[in-house]
Structure formats: C-alpha cells, structure tokens
Structure 1
Amino acid sequence: MARHRPCGHGHPVRDPALRQELRARVHRLRRGGDPGERHVRPPARPHELLRRRVPAGAGVGRGGAPRGVGRAPPTRSRGEVGVGRILFGEEIAAEIRAELQARVAGLARRGVVPGLALVRVGDDPASASYVRQKEKAAHGLGFLSEITVLPERTTEDELLALIASLNGDPRFHGILVQLPLPPGLSPERACGAVDSRKDVDCLHPANIGRFVRGDPYLLPCTPHAVQEILLRSGYPPAGKHVVIVGRSPLVGRPLSILLSQKGPRGDATVTLCHSATPDLGPFTRQADIVVVAVGRPGTLQTDMVREGAVVIDVGVNRVDDPA
C-alpha cells in the first residue's frame, strides 16, 4: 500500500539520558532560562530535531500547504517549550483566508463576485485532486468557481479555443490551466493563450517578464506561499542566506527571484542548487534558510543542515508505507 507522505520524518527520542537532559532544559527555560539557551518550540511529537538537528525534509502540511522547521521567535509560538518546533503552513493559510474573505465581502458590497475558471485535461488522479481542492478553496472564499474537464484526446486547437472563450467571459477574473497536460499538448502555448490579466498562475510570458523585472502583476502561488510562511512566522529573508534545492519554473527558479528582490520581503542572498549540483551538503550547511523543492524523497539529510537553520519543504512524494 502506498500513501502520500512528506519528504522525510524524524523519530521518537528513546535515549533515557537525552530525554532527561531535555526535561531539565525545559524546566530551566520555564523558570527563565539560561543565557545560552535558545527559546524554541517543539513539534507535537518528538522528532530527531530534538537532538538539535533538523530532520531530512520538514514535510508538507495537509492540503499541500508548505511547512518548515526552525528556531522559534518570541511570537507565534505553539506547544511546549523545548528545542525545536514545526511551522504549520495550514495555520498561516487560515489567516490569509480570513483576510481574503473580508476583501471578497467588500467586493460583494459593490456587486462584484470574483470568478475563477479551472481547466483540466485528462484523468490524472493527482491533477483531479488538486483542481478539486482549488475549487473548494475558491467556494469557501465566496468566489464563483467552475471546472471544465476535457478528455485526454483533446487537441491543442480545442484547448486553445476553450481558453479563448474563457478569456472573453466576464464572469471569470482568473483562469487556471492545471499542469501537467497530456502528451501532445504544449503547456507553453496553453499558458501563453490565457489573457495575461487573468493569469493567476503567473505563467504568461508577459507576467513572467514583469515578475523578473520586479514589477509583478501577480505572484507565482507556491513561491509566494513560502515567502508568507517565512514573514508571518518571524523569519524574514532579508540579510539571510537562502539555499533553494530545485530549479523548476513553478517553484525553485521563481522563488530564487522573489526572495532576492530588493525590499523587506526579499533582500536575501540566494543560492540555487539542482540535480546537477555535485554535492549539496557544502551549500545547505551554510544556509540560514533551506527550501527543498524537488520530487525525490530523502534529498536533504540531517547532516546537511546546520544547527538553527530554518527548513521548508514544498515537495510531496509517493513513498511505500510499510504499515
């Protein structure tokens, strides 16, 4: 049996001496702490992180929201005092949804209902699941949302004709073509056919150009999610060394641009590693923040991350479940 799992998990702390040391450290921190102690929060279950090392991939929260591991600032803390904590993307997503609901309600008072058109071609189970989640999220915010499913044998002309009709439909302010497309269909042509003003994935060439120039019309969603997790959790990237593992045009490459742009939401020094990087360890061990965006479990190991670094994993991989 196979299940979707995040890239890497820690293990319970079974060493009695280590458990005793951790309990003593918790006691000291609750009484005011030692000057040299770090005030950080643990995950709900003890991880290998409690050995003062970061697990091999922090994982992805339910619903696909990225999550990370890192030192906790004095705010947004959760759980008992210990030596590590997990940053949960779903909590931040709930905050953002609440903010968006207020904005959508404001538009409704003006007679405007945001509309999102979702296009899926074929019967890929993962794509079908992602599109359903997006539709559910849109409905939850008060959007008009419709899914158009085309058969696997759809021709490129038929797909482009559908996109053209959605471009001209005033009910829809955003259009999303779910990738990947079946063989024979060009994602570049499909994304380029979407009206750039309705391109919610920021994949139209004009929007990519504006984004690279630092004058974005819209931001690519997953890189923007990583940026929001860092900022809202108290880990601004400004002045930090960020190492990104993965160079895909959907996550790694645009994230490197986003975090290196000038301003308080960026200003990071970014290193972009990928499948042709001969040895990841020397790069990741120098990082203040590591973002893993690859489709291969176990890419990041515990000895490849320095103590105190923040790790965010946006990769979801299918692995065998021995249970």
Structure 2
Amino acid sequence: MRKKIINTFLKKWHETIIIEFILLRFPRSTFCFFVVFLVIYLLTLIENFLIILTTLVDSALHCPVYFFLQNLSFMHIFNLVTVPKMLMNLVSKNKDIYCSGDMTHTNFFFFGITESFLLSAMAYNRYVARCDPLRYTTIMNKKFFKKLAVMSWFSGIPVGSLQTTWLFSFPFCRSNELNHFFCDAPTILEFVYADSYLFEMFALIASTILTFPPFLIILFSYVHIISTILKMPTATGRPKIFSTCSSHLIVVILFYGMASFTYLPPKSIYSTNTKKLLSLSYTVFTLMLNPIINSLRNNEVKGTLKRILNKRNVF
C-alpha cells in the first residue's frame, strides 16, 4: 500500500505542469547589450511603421508590390514580440515568464509560415509583371492580390495555434530554467515529460508542406524572370530590372537561409550559446535588415517618405 502511494506521488510529481519558465541571461550580459538590442528594436519598429505609413498615404503606391510590402512590415512587427522580454532579462533580475506568455511567443514565431507565403506572393507578382506584362492588370487585380494576402495570413495562424496548444498540453518536468532568450518550441520540448514523437513528426510534416510550396513558387518565378531578362534584345534595361529583383531575392535568402541554419541541423550539432546566437540573428538582425533591403532603398518609397517629412517640416 505504501509503495503504491509513493508511486502515485512520484507520477503526479513528474506530471506536474510548469506554470512558468525562467529565461536565462546571455553569458556576461551587460548594459551594453541592452543598449545595442534596444536601438535595433526601435530602429526596426520605426522602419516598418514608416513603410506602412508611406504605402498607406501615397495613392501611387496602392498596387500589389507595395501592398505585399505593407503586409510584410506588419509581419515583422508581430515577429518582434520576443524582443521586449529579452530586453527586460538583460537589465532585470526577474526573468520569469508565464505559460500564457510562452504560448504567445511560440504562436507568433510560427507566423514565419505566413511570411514564407507573403514572400512567394511577392515573387509571383514580379513573375507576372516581367513575364506576362500585357495581362498583369488582369491577373493581379485588386481582388486577387488581396486574396493572396489573406491566404498568406491564415496559412500560418491555424498551424501555429494548433502546434502551440498541443505543445503546452504536454506535462513538463525537470528544471524550468530555459536557456534561451525567448520560448522557442524546440527548446521547450526538452522539458516535456511524455512521448512527443507524434508532435515532432506533425511539426516537421506541417512545416515542410507549408514552407516548401512557397519556396518552389519563388524558385519557379525567378528562373522564368532571369530567363526572360536574358532573352531581352538589348541590355539597356537589364541592370535596373536585376536591381529591383535582387532586393527581394536577398530577403528570401536571408529568411530561408537563417531558418535552415537555425532549425534544420540536428540538436547536437550546435552548442546552446550558438543556438541562441543563430536564433538572435534570425529573429532580430534579419528583421532590422529586411525593411532596408526590401523597401527603404526603393526610390518610389524614398520619394514618398521625403514628401511626407517635408510636409511636416522635418527637413
């Protein structure tokens, strides 16, 4: 009888669900780190809000290209949800974050699926503009490109919500100290006291199904765009076309490249600190660079932004 009570107690103890996680600091974190990341965070917010404002104010920018850029900026703002907690951890002794916060962080992180669909929609838009210009206005009409944006957003939300709910339905055990700067799903899985094989397989299959088709669309689009450019009878307009396409391509390479380096290799290949740095570059630095590469070096966006600032007597 006593043995049965002890076994029941141990089982209950193992199955105790952790109601909060403690995010550990970076090694030798200082106030300098806080200042650097705060500047990057504020700069990224300003960049994306400027793009949204510019594309909303100027009627000349009410077209598919800038509509998708506007949606991408909204996505980048959502993805910054992990940064404020990281900033707090750098300067505060209180590093606790409740499960509700964990779920929010993890759910927003899965919005990367939505970003991959938005990038593919932008690539398809460029493909139609370059390879089928006579039918561009017919194909990329207002109703169609708005449908593409809505589909992009909803493609990520159901999967993110399902995986997050499933992940936090598991019982947790061991220490609740999370050696990361935000609650990443692979890191949280290390605390699960249950068979998570089905969850991991579902996450892998769902991620592959939902990210591989957009990648193929991007690849298909740019193969045809480059082929069309090379077939042009004169090389006069090639540099300009390559310049406009290169911005989007760089963003695509950053997105898929950093995601691959961060999540595809086996768990044991990187040290904990290397994983944290890779996640940091994926979630912070690329979000700062994307608006600069994709929009703020665009002449039309810069021209509209200057006119807005001149009206406010900023210059």
TM-score norm. by structure 2 comes to 0.29
Structure ranking higher on relative contact order (CA contacts 8 Å, 6+ apart) = 2
TM-score norm. by structure 1 comes to 0.28
Structure having the larger proportion of residues in strand? 1
Which of these two proteins has the greater Rg computed from alpha carbons? 2
